[in-house]
Structures are given as structure tokens and as C-alpha cells.
Amino acid sequence: MKVDVDAEVARIYADVIRRNPAEPEFHQAVREVLESLAVVLGRHPEFTAHKTVERICEPERQIIFRVPWQDDRGEVHIARGFRVEYNSALGPYKGGLRFHPSVNLGIVKFLGFEQIFKNALTGMPIGGGKGGSDFDPKGRSDSEVMRFCQSFMTELYRHLGEYTDVPAGDIGVGAREIGFLFGQYKRITNRYEAGVLTGKGLSYGGALVRTEATGYGAVFFASEMLAVRGEEFEGKTVSVSGSGNVAIYAVEKAQQFGARVVTVSDSSGYVVDENGIDLDLLKQVKLSERARISEYSARRPGAVFVPAADGSIWDVPCDVAIPSASQNELPEDGAVALVRNGCRIVVEGANMPTTPKAVRVLQEAGVGFGPGKAANAGGVATSALEMQQNASRDRWSFERTETRLEEIMRDIHQRCHATSEEYGDPGNLVLGANVAGFLQVAEAVHAHGLV
């Protein structure tokens, strides 16, 4: 019997909303994937018969737990911890931990759902998961962060393992936090299981390029998008949002490719530096001092700081935009401004930073759009390379790891581009990424039976 695929997609989405109320980010992530799958369900009726899409939309396991901790004054705080182990069809659950006041179950599920397909696109044997806490490390001492991480891991450790679930960092979780988490895991388990966490320090099993990987990877992906158009980064004006690891190393790699990067930002506002971002100063302000981005403009002649309430970073003219801060940071009016000012490529450095309406504006205007599940896969790809090195008790050079990262990002782009052509919409990398990632996961789900 012929299936009405549009009706089937609508039914699945309605069921996701019913079963997961009040989780708008998760709904958005699911809808974005489902909109690409009608063409797949038309060619593969077995996915409808076996409810493959519904099985992938439902996490295999959702863990929520209490995290009590004590600050330096002796005051007790109660945070909430999460780990959504979403899909293990391709390998152990793999995905970061986010420590930020905005973290809730819906946010973690949206991130974990995206991670399934992102990880599949890397071609590495890793499944999808995500976790975190509503704890805010900003302004906390090292001792407070250590006590929180130890309490967090005291509960989470029982769900982890190098063949089960391998977390990494995300917003609010850097080398400091990973170190404290790994130390507590080792203490509790009495095992030096280096492969259980990635993003570790270089002195105890971390991989070179891991810190730079997501930002570098996004620029490698953008470079491939430009090459399809017969262009390159040399001489391009680039706008980057954010000022964390992703943004900083996107700036670094874009500059190495000959681009002029003119913006960075944080939650307080953004900086415009028409002479090009001073990378050393940016690293000093954000990585060493953990200061506000306004400190950059205070020390950099010619740079201008614009408070968040007074303007949008997307009003700054550029050829290439790399949103690298947080979800839904690039709205419809921001996309309109980018188009009006001649932007030709938008590549997502963050997870789902572009709203659905903004994506439509960009695509209808012919702006090349690189979705996060493809463009920012460099971080998790390098995490998988770190797992390889830990498993073999090996350590690769920076050059070897970066070369492998560039190869992976090139392969992801080629795969997405080829899939978009095969499924009737050449150049639509959203369709290409969603379909390519879904097909790989779906085939593995079927191979494992009804589990």
C-alpha cells in the first residue's frame, strides 16, 4: 500500500510534540530533520513499516539527577544534572557536557538528537548523546568548580565507559572541568580509563588539535563550500559570533587562509575591528582573563564595542558568516541583513544557531548554508581521534591530527553535496546532511533488530 509520506511526517512530528511537551528546541531540531525525510520515506517504505524514524526520535535512555555542592563560603547549592544517551546504533554514545543556567532536558535532547546525525556524518564508529547541568561556572573559583564536578561525576560515572558513553566538553566545560571530572571518575572506578572522556589535557591522554577542532573544522567546511563556487577564503571578510573555543579557532584558521575577520562577541555585545581581529589579544582577554569582550575594544585602537541592546552583529557587512555562540542566535532579521549586505556563505559553528525562518531567507536568496550537524562536526571527529589514540596508547602530532581533521571535513562536505544531488535538490546541504546521516543510522538500527 502506498504511504502518504507528507502525512506520515506530520504524524510523527505531532507525536513527538505530544510525548515531549514544553521542549521547543527539541521540537525544532526534530522538525528540521523530518522536513528532509519525506523524500527518503518515499524511496524506503520499510522505514515507515518498521517505525524507524520514531525509534530514532526516542532516546534510548534519559538520566536526570541531583547534584549537591558547597561553595567557598560553606553555602550548599543543589544543581540538576542530565545525560541523554540517545542512540548507540553506530557506537558508544558520544557528545559533550554543557554547564550553563539555560540547560534543561529539552536543550539536552535537542543537542543529543543533532549529535546522532553529526556523529554519523564523520564516518567514525560513535553514537549520539549529550549531557550537562544548570550549574554556572562563570565567576566560580577553581575549588568551587572542582567540588561541583566531583559531585556531578559521583552520580554520572555509573553510566559511562569507553565502550558505553564517552562525554566531552561543551559550553562551560573546558580543560579545567574535564580534568576534575576525569580525576573523580578515576578515583571512583579505580581504573585509568583514558577513553572515557575526551577533551583531556595533553599531559594525560588528550589529543592535539582537540581544542581547535570545531572552529578549524567549520572553516575547512566553509572552504569546501567556497571551492564549489570557484572561490577561496583569501581576501574575504568574515564575521564570527561568540568568543569561546569555537569562535577563537574559527578566527585563527580563517586568518591562516587569508581572510579578514572583523567581529567577535559574547552575551554582553559584539566588537567590530575593521583592521582584523587581533588573535593574541582575543585569546588573552577570553581564554586567560575570562573577561568581557568589551575589554578587547578597550585595548585595541580602532575597535568598537556595541552593547547587545544597541545592535546586531549580523548588521556588519561580510562575505562569510560563522555563527559560533549558541542556539537560535541568528534570527530572520539577521539573515535579511546578511543577504542585504552581500553575504555569500553562512556556516554554523554552534549547534543550531540559525532559526528555521532565517535558514529559509538564506536559502531563498542563494546564500550557501552549512548546517551545524555537518559544519561543526570537527570537534566530535577529533574526539573520536582522541579515543583512537587512547585505545592504542599512542599520540599523534599536531600536523597528523589536523590533516586527518581536514580530510574528515572534506569528506563530510562531499557526502552532503552528493546526497543533495541524489535526492533532487543540488547544493541543499541541510537536506544532504540530514538524509546522509539518517540513512547510515537507520541501516544500523535495522541490522540490530527490534532493540
The catalytic site residues sit at: 130
What is the distance, to the nearest Å, from the Cα of residue 268 to the centroid of all Cα atoms in its chain? 22
Do β-strands 165-168 and 93-99 pair in parallel, antiparallel, or remain unpaired? parallel
The closest of 336, 396, 343 to 369, measured between CA atoms, is 343
Long-range contacts of 398-402 (CB under 8 A, 24+ apart): 398/208, 398/209, 401/207, 401/208, 401/209, 402/209, 402/212, 402/216
Helix (H, G, I), strand (E, B) or coil at 322: strand
Any idea what DSSP says for residue 183?
A: H
State the residue for C-alpha cell 560553606.
74
The closest of 104, 180, 169 to 141, measured between CA atoms, is 180
What does 284-312 look like in DSSP terms, one character per residue? IIIIIS---THHHHHHSTT-EEEEGGG--
Largest CA distance in the chain: 69
The closest of 134, 121, 182 to 437, measured between CA atoms, is 121
Q: Which three cell numbers stand for residue 336?
A: 535579511
C-alpha to C-alpha distance for 164 and 218, rounded to whole angstroms: 28
C-alpha to C-alpha distance for 202 and 9, rounded to whole angstroms: 46
C-alpha to C-alpha distance for 274 and 239, rounded to whole angstroms: 11
Q: How many CA atoms lie within 13 A of 164 on its CB side?
A: 11
C-alpha to C-alpha distance for 403 and 291, rounded to whole angstroms: 33
C-alpha to C-alpha distance for 219 and 213, rounded to whole angstroms: 10
